[in-house]
């Protein structure tokens, strides 16, 4: 803009004798227009390379004088499509984007994956059952089948790393759980009588099966004394082992939230790390009660796999990660380059569609194992790596030199991520669904971990939320104060987000789409009162 203003000022200082003829006036007018045009062109020469982000009609990003390779700046529509400059410019010091981690970020500690008893050494053994899951501690391996824990027995806990800060959290008493279960049994019996009166008579066996499946999962979890939860093998900020062997991340904390709701303790969780290709099989076979593993909600998965998504815990979209030295500002420049992707994910199908739709002739390299994919990418075998943007930022933080890599501006898909359960237990589905809704609603009414843990009654919207959740939760077999216990154990959604992937975390993400609906985001939970 400075060049434009300088040009106009120069014209204004000129002492021009207004010509008397129309031809002379036309010449002067054309001169003024030319001066302005030259000033505008002088301003535009700073833009070296422009690329459209969402197809040929979408907004554009341009590489600007002073930007390092791979860095881009959003520009006005009228700046898109400027021809590249003929001259080169000297690279200046790279300035990391706002979401980049501050300082070097060590990768999460590598630890051996728990094995299933009686298997051939792999977690994908189809012959294993939930009773075969082994959970590890720092010094021993314990069979979860031997862990029979009552809700108020603080001396017994699953053999999993302990959740720091959860030792002093309140727990549900056995009397509360017994009362809730008795209430549920009475209501279930009444419902069964009503159904029997309205429907044709069934055999004794058919009636027994119908009644028995009402709360099968909840009963199994309480009899076992531990919640079996499937998580990612290693995705920093979502589910990964810390250097001291403790599971951390958004998905991990949600497992703990459900454990508090049904067992009264965040420590009563057995975490089973699962690859993308085995996660649904583990759920279908009953080896896990809940899948909380950055999984995309799609119609095909619900219809074809017989699973149920309990809501959206993270709104995401697929992107591309690349090295700065590749010089890319857009995924549309991938023609002739190599792109890595993991099999068994929605990312592979999305990549195929994107490349075909835009006629980009890139070479796709598929990996089954995530660790092998990252190793290949970091070694330079791939020019770009595609996955959910949250996964890209997480994986980027674990690389040897995070600042040498950049997520490109394109978002090529919708990826609503959320917890998954089987479709055969409506009561269990609702428990998981409303636990997630409770965390979101708690942030909305400003019920924090500190307020939920404090002594005394709540007031206002916080009391309304907790009381409403408790009243409806009784029909699901939950204690009257279950939601307050959940928030006191893990915090509300905003607190969980900030602790694991927010601006103060190594990942350094903005809330973006995952901000509350009141603050311009997509996060919205149905009311619980």
Query: What is the 8-class DSSP label of residue 475?
Result: G
Whether residue 183 is predicted with pLDDT greater than 90 in this model: the reply is no
What distances in angstroms separate CA 161 from CA 102, 234, 264, 267, 280, one per listed residue? 28, 15, 17, 8, 24
The pLDDT, as a whole number, for residue 103 is 36
The pLDDT, as a whole number, for residue 46 is 52
The pLDDT, as a whole number, for residue 208 is 32
Mean pLDDT for the chain overall: 75
Structure tokens at 307: 């699973």
Which residues, in sequence order, are CB contacts of 438 under 8 Å at separation 6+?
Answer: 465, 469, 483, 486, 487, 525, 528
Whether residue 92 is predicted with pLDDT greater than 70 in this model: the reply is no
Name the pLDDT band for 157 (thresholds 50, 70, 90): very low
Which range has the worst mean pLDDT, 67-76, 207-216, 244-253, 421-430?
Answer: 207-216
Tokens 């419902």, located at residue: 191
The pLDDT, as a whole number, for residue 269 is 98
Name the pLDDT band for 48 (thresholds 50, 70, 90): low
Strands 405-407 and 307-309: unpaired
CA angle 93, 95, 98 (to 5 degrees): 175
Q: For 269-310, what is each residue's pLDDT tens digit?
A: 999 999 988 999 999 999 999 999 999 999 999 999 999 999
Which residues, in sequence order, are CB contacts of 248 under 8 Å at separation 6+?
Answer: 239, 240, 241, 242, 500
Check residues 259 and 105 and name the one with the higher pLDDT. 259
Whether residue 236 is predicted with pLDDT greater than 60 in this model: the reply is yes
Q: What integer is the mean pLDDT of 196-204? A: 40
Q: What is the pTM of this model?
A: 0.63
Whether residue 153 is predicted with pLDDT greater than 50 in this model: the reply is no
**Over pLDDT 70: what percentage of the chain?**
62
């Amino acid at each position: 803009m400075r060049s434009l203003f300088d040009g106009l000022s120069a014209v204004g200082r000129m002492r021009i004798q207004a010509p008397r003829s129309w031809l002379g006036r036309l010449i002067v007018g054309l001169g003024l227009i030319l001066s302005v045009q030259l000033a505008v062109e002088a301003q535009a020469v700073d833009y070296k390379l422009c690329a459209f982000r969402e197809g040929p009609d979408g907004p554009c990003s341009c590489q600007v004088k002073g930007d390092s390779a791979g860095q881009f700046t959003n520009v006005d529509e009228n700046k898109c499509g400027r021809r590249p400059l003929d001259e080169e410019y000297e690279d200046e010091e790279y300035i990391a984007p706002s979401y980049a981690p501050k300082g070097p970020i060590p990768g999460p500690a590598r630890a051996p994956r728990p094995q299933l008893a009686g298997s051939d050494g792999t977690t994908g053994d189809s012959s294993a059952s939930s009773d075969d899951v082994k959970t590890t501690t720092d010094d021993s391996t314990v069979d979860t089948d031997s862990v029979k824990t009552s809700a108020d027995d603080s001396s017994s806990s699953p053999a999993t790393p302990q959740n720091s800060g959860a030792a002093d959290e309140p727990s549900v008493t056995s009397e509360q759980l017994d009362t809730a279960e008795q209430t549920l049994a009475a209501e279930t019996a009444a419902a069964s009588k009503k159904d029997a009166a309205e429907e044709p008579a069934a055999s004794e066996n058919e009636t027994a099966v119908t009644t028995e499946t009402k709360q099968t999962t909840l009963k199994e979890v309480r009899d076992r004394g531990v919640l079996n939860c499937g998580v990612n093998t290693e995705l920093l900020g979502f589910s990964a082992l810390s250097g001291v062997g403790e599971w951390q991340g958004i998905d991990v904390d949600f497992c703990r939230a459900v454990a508090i709701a049904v067992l009264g303790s965040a420590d009563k969780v057995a975490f089973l790390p699962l690859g993308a290709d085995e996660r649904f099989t583990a759920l279908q076979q009953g080896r896990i009660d809940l899948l909380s593993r950055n999984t995309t909600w799609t119609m095909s998965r619900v219809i074809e796999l017989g699973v149920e998504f309990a809501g959206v815990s993270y709104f995401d979209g697929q992107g591309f990660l690349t090295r700065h030295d590749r010089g890319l500002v857009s995924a549309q420049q991938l023609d002739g380059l190599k792109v890595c992707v993991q099999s068994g994910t929605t990312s592979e199908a999305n990549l195929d569609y994107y490349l075909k739709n835009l006629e980009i002739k890139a070479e796709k390299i598929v990996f089954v194992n995530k660790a092998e994919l990252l190793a290949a990418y970091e070694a330079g075998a791939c020019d770009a790596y595609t996955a959910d943007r949250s996964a890209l930022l997480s994986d980027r933080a674990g690389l040897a030199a995070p600042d040498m890599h950049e997520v490109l501006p394109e978002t090529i898909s919708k990826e609503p991520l959320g917890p998954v359960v089987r479709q055969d237990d409506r009561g269990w589905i609702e428990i998981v669904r409303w636990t997630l809704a409770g965390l979101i609603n708690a942030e909305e009414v400003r019920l924090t971990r500190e307020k939920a843990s404090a002594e005394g009654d709540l007031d206002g919207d916080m009391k309304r939320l907790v009381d409403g959740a408790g009243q409806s939760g009784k029909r699901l077999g939950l204690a009257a104060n279950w939601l307050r216990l959940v928030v006191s154990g893990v915090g509300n959604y905003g607190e969980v987000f900030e602790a694991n992937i927010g601006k103060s975390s190594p990942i350094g993400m903005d809330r973006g789409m995952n901000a509350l609906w009141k603050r311009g985001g997509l996060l919205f939970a149905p009311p619980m009162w």
